Amino acid sequence: MSQFPHIHLPLQHAQAFDANPVSVVPLPDGEILLNFAGQPIITKLDAHLGLIWEKTMQGLLSNFKRSLLSASYDGKLFAIAGMTDIQILDAADARVLHRVEHPSWERFPGATCYFSRDMIWYILPDEGLRVMNALTFEVIASCRLVEAESYIFHATPDKNSILLEAIAGQEDTILMKVELKEGIIVIARLPQCVGIMGNFAPSGKEFVMAPYYDGPVKIYSFPDIAMITEVDQAAIFEGSKDYPAIEPDNINYTVYFIADNTILLLSQFGRLLLLDRKDLRCKAEVMAEGIVFTAHDLAGDPTNKRDQIYDYSSNIINVMIVHNQLLLTTASGELRNYKLPV
């Protein structure tokens, strides 16, 4: 008898690459924009993960070591945030429309760009947050930011506000609410929000945060941003009957709402578990087609000896919710999509 009921998810579509993507950016009509570490290539896929085009960005190889992509809501513009510059491009022909040069990030690009309706938000090392007009590229506001290794923008249900996550270390994340009011950037720190930002529920009334290491999963209200409830990991993984091991399973930094009443998480063992929003108890395990598990001993080598199993891993690398679908990247370089298990 399995620990949790199993939900079997058939594969919808897959596309194989030589490496896993650094950025996966949704575009209109179900399309997706991708780029890859160390490759000056941008790839556009259709809603079935079929190749639409692949463009080589000449002369930008050194800047593509860890470049990050973002795109405008209408798909007409996209931005490349690299080690030493930010480029805004025309999506139709990949022509560079505007470039902002800046001092190099120390180890990797510190932030993507963020497109709102008529503005582009971006961050420069040692200079802070800026906002430019998306048509003229004129800077209309700027402000200093708390120093961090990297920053992540998150859209909110309120079109006038953004959440900005500043990641200063392995367990040091600061979440901020950012708004532009009468030409001035207004930032409110949210010390009550602890963990790694997940996403908003479809209702827009709540969002979820994943823990660092052994902390709890927490749910916050929106727009007032107050913690509503939490659940510790021992309650989620109680028993672990299906995966006996010396090391207990835990959450691997990834927790998403996939419906108002259902939360999806990725575990350290590579499992996809569903939590019931009512009590935050696990109600099912998702068995996605093509996902396989390997047991490891203490040295990290594969083993089939039950008394030597230290932990497990699956071939899942990243989990994303894109275009209301479950999108997985795998160790073999595949991008795979499935219907949401709701």
**Which residue range is the domain that position 161 belongs to?**
66-191
Please tell me the distance from the alpha carbon of residue 16 to that of residue 333, in angstroms, as a whole number.
Answer: 6
Can you tell me the mean pLDDT for 54-80?
Answer: 79
pLDDT beyond 60 at 254: yes
Of 32-41, 202-211, 212-221, where does the model show the most confidence? 202-211
Tokens standing for residue 106: 């120390």
Of 131, 156, 191, the position where a domain reaches its end is 191
Which residues touch 145 (CB under 8 Å, ≥6 apart)? 123, 128, 129, 151, 166, 187
pLDDT beyond 50 at 154: yes
Q: Are residues 166 and 243 in the same domain?
A: no
pLDDT beyond 80 at 61: no
Model confidence over 134-144: pLDDT tens digits? 999 999 999 99
Q: Are residues 174 and 250 in the same domain?
A: no
Give residue 146's pLDDT: 87
Neighbours of 118 (CB within 10 A): 9
Q: Are residues 253 and 151 in the same domain?
A: no
- Asked whether residue 23 is domain-assigned, the answer is no
Can you tell me the mean pLDDT for 29-38?
Answer: 90
Give residue 204's pLDDT: 98
Please tell me the distance from the alpha carbon of residue 301 to that of residue 155, in angstroms, as a whole number.
Answer: 41
- Asked whether residue 26 is domain-assigned, the answer is no
Distance of CA 71 to the CA centre of its chain: 15
pLDDT tier at 24, thresholds 50, 70, 90? very high
Give residue 1's pLDDT: 46
Which residues touch 329 (CB under 8 Å, ≥6 apart)? 20, 21, 24, 316, 317, 318, 335, 336
Give residue 133's pLDDT: 97
Percent of the chain exceeding pLDDT 90 equals: 76
Please tell me the distance from the alpha carbon of residue 1 to that of residue 289, in angstroms, as a whole number.
Answer: 20
Give residue 240's pLDDT: 64
Q: Are residues 185 and 212 in the same domain?
A: no
Q: Are residues 138 and 107 in the same domain?
A: yes
Percent of the chain exceeding pLDDT 70 equals: 95
Q: Per mean pLDDT, which range of 69-73, 98-102, 106-110, 142-146 is the poorest?
A: 106-110
| Average pLDDT score, the chain | 92
Q: Are residues 108 and 230 in the same domain?
A: no
Model confidence over 317-326: pLDDT tens digits? 999 999 999 9
Q: Are residues 329 and 211 in the same domain?
A: yes
Q: How many domains does the chain have?
A: 2
CB distance 100 to 108 below 8 Å: no
Please tell me the distance from the alpha carbon of residue 227 to that of residue 265, in angstroms, as a whole number.
Answer: 19
- Asked whether residue 46 is domain-assigned, the answer is no
- Asked whether residue 176 is domain-assigned, the answer is yes
Of 191, 215, 249, the position where a domain reaches its end is 191
Q: Per mean pLDDT, which range of 12-26, 196-210, 234-248, 256-270 is the poorest?
A: 234-248
Q: Are residues 164 and 100 in the same domain?
A: yes
Please tell me the distance from the alpha carbon of residue 171 to that of residue 191, in angstroms, as a whole number.
Answer: 14
pLDDT beyond 80 at 58: no
Give residue 65's pLDDT: 58
CB distance 67 to 80 below 8 Å: yes
- Name the more confident of 237 and 59: 237
Give residue 83's pLDDT: 85
Give residue 108's pLDDT: 67
Q: Are residues 219 and 292 in the same domain?
A: yes
- Asked whether residue 55 is domain-assigned, the answer is no
Of 157, 191, 225, the position where a domain reaches its end is 191
Reduced to 3 states (helix: H, G, I; strand: E, B; else coil), residue 28 is helix
CATH at residue 168: 2.130.10.10
Burial 200-225 (b: 16+ CB within 10 A, else e): bbeeeebbbbbbeeebbbbbbebeeb
Fill in the amino acid letter for 196.
I
Q: Are residues 200 and 296 in the same domain?
A: yes
pLDDT beyond 90 at 4: no
Q: Are residues 229 and 329 in the same domain?
A: yes
- Asked whether residue 51 is domain-assigned, the answer is no
Q: Tell me which long-range contacts 283-287 makes (C-beta under 8 A, separation of at least 24).
A: 283/4, 283/5, 284/4, 284/5, 284/6, 284/7, 284/341, 285/2, 285/3, 285/4, 285/5, 285/6, 285/7, 285/242, 286/6, 286/7, 286/9, 286/341, 287/6, 287/7, 287/8, 287/9
Model confidence over 279-303: pLDDT tens digits? 999 999 999 999 999 999 999 999 9
Report phi then psi at 222, rounded to 5: -145, 135
Q: Are residues 180 and 164 in the same domain?
A: yes
- Asked whether residue 242 is domain-assigned, the answer is yes
- Asked whether residue 219 is domain-assigned, the answer is yes
